Each structure stands twice: as C-alpha cells, then as structure tokens.
Structure 1
C-alpha cells in the first residue's frame, strides 16, 4: 500500500534533452529543456515548456531559453532550469488526488570532463529540491534502470553523490 504513494524519479539531463523515468510506474517523459517566456505587462511570463516551447520560436515578444546550455557547465541559468524542471516533474508524476513529493536522482550526462565539482553537485541537488523533490541525489556513472531505481540499488561502477 505504501508503495502506491512512493515516487522515485530518475532525471537524465543533457543540453538537448531531459529524460524523466518514474520508477514505480515505468512512465517515461522526454522533452527538450526549453522554456518559452513572453513579455506581458513588462514581466516575463512562462507560456510553454519543452517541445511546446520549441513550437513558439520566432513569435513576437516570445523568447526561448535553455537553462542547461552553456559552453563550460551543464547548469547555465538556475531560474530557467528550475521552472523547466518543476513543470516536467509535475508532468512525470501520477495524476492522483494526493501525490507525494518525489525522491529524485539527477544524472548529468554532459560536461563531465574531470568529474563534477562540489559546487555543481550542490547546485544540481538544490535545483531539484526547489523544483519539487523531497530528497535529491546526483548520480555519476552508467544510466540506471527502472529496476535499480525501484530497489534503490546503485551499481558499484558509479557514485551516488550527496550535496
């Protein structure tokens, strides 16, 4: 019964794609990490996320942002990345009356030369925490399977990094 309320999300991120897997249901979501912002009454307003944002490119007063595109690091703009992840996490969770905040394992898949710094680990953990996670971990290693996530057993050839 308690497993019904458990939510474990695995989020694999590159500058081109965010893939989210819900471990308990096997539901997968893949979207480009894009956020469409429109200027309304002098303020930026979010009008679309992911592939919907991509379709709005070129419209007047709309700009497309990618919080994960920077030449030196995967996390380019914290606020844009937060809004993007917040929306995608909501989309990946089951549609129920009560949905528990998920445990999130974030897996950066790009810009890993030399490994992640403590600052990057902390920034990624903070990012998923403010985007709606109850617990946040950063994974460095091979891609994880749904079975590994469900059992919360991680292969020895990787590292589960804590902030």
Structure 2
C-alpha cells in the first residue's frame, strides 16, 4: 500500500514527557503527558492535554492529572492515560480523511527495573488500542532508528519486542 496512507507513530514515554515521531513525515512532538479535567456534577470531564492542559493550570475547577506518574509503574491511571493519548495523538497525526488509524510503537523509558510485567505490557497494548491505534508494538531497548521504524524491524541485538509476542 502507498506510504501516503500509512500512519506510524513512535512514542518514547517517560512520566514527565511524551516524545513522538510521525515516521512517514518526520514530524516530531514532545509534550508533558498531562490531562486537564473539570469536575462537573461528580464527573471528571477531560478538557485538554499536553501544553494546552498546562495553560489551564490554576484555573478554578481545573485539575491536572498525569496517568503515567507513579513511584512503581509507568501506567498509573488507565482512564487518564487513555484520554491523554487520544488527545495528544490527534495533535501529531496529519489531518486527512484518507489516513488509516496509526500503527503505534511504544518505547517506555522509565521505571523499567526488572522489566515490564505481562500485566503492564497488556495494559499498554489495550491503552494504545483505546487511544485509536490500529496496530501496537511495545519495544524495550535502544532507541529505534527511523529506518527501523519504517521497515518495522526490531533488532534483537539492541532490545526486545515485548508486544506482540513472537510466535
């Protein structure tokens, strides 16, 4: 299929920063993985993510939440993390009616002592699907090159493809 219709995102995730690369265009993006919420009749209503959420800090009735901030794990609050990624992915993806849902390669880069558990790996995969990914890969190891990402080659000598598990 023509590259025009491909959408591949490489996300490097830390509790305080999400770095994204849209592989086909070369566009990069870095934002704090924050979600601004307003409390309305007992519900938390998402308003904005990233720098747009930061701009709302201090306003009455606004709470800033980070679904990736916890002392033991990178995935702290599934609902907040999912909505944050939904909003941030919209900012990096090119606007087009013909674009397919993205393939997302997630590269967690913090809180990895002892490796990710199967529960964390599955949680990240479900999180990304819920945020709009068509296909999900979870990578642990050295940073991937743009060529690796374009060919979806995950060099075993430089890391481990955690998801999907090889058959």
What interval of TM-score do these two structures reach, taking the shorter chain for normalisation?
over 0.9
Shift of 1:40: 3.0
For the 8 Å contact 1:93–1:99, the answer to whether it is kept is no
Between the aligned partners of 2:17 and 2:163, the Cα distance in structure 1 is 24
TM-score scaled by structure 1? Answer: 0.95
Map 1:8-157 to 2 at 5 A.
8-156=8-156, 157=158
TM-score scaled by structure 2? Answer: 0.93
The equivalent residue for 2:163 is: 162
Q: After the TM superposition, which of the residue ranges 40-49 and 79-88 deviates more from structure 2?
A: 40-49
Please give the secondary structure, in 2, of the residue aligned with 1:57: coil
Between the aligned partners of 1:86 and 1:94, the Cα distance in structure 2 is 14
Please give the secondary structure, in 2, of the residue aligned with 1:79: helix
Between the aligned partners of 2:2 and 2:159, the Cα distance in structure 1 is 29
CA RMSD, aligned part only?
A: 1.2
Shift of 1:42: 4.0
Between the aligned partners of 1:9 and 1:147, the Cα distance in structure 2 is 13
Flag structure 2 segments of 5+ consecutive residues without an equivalent: none
- Pairs aligned (count): 163
Between the aligned partners of 2:91 and 2:58, the Cα distance in structure 1 is 26
Q: After the TM superposition, which of the residue ranges 152-161 and 75-84 deviates more from structure 2?
A: 152-161
Moved over 6 A (4+): none
Flag structure 1 segments of 5+ consecutive residues without an equivalent: none
Please give the secondary structure, in 1, of the residue aligned with 2:75: coil
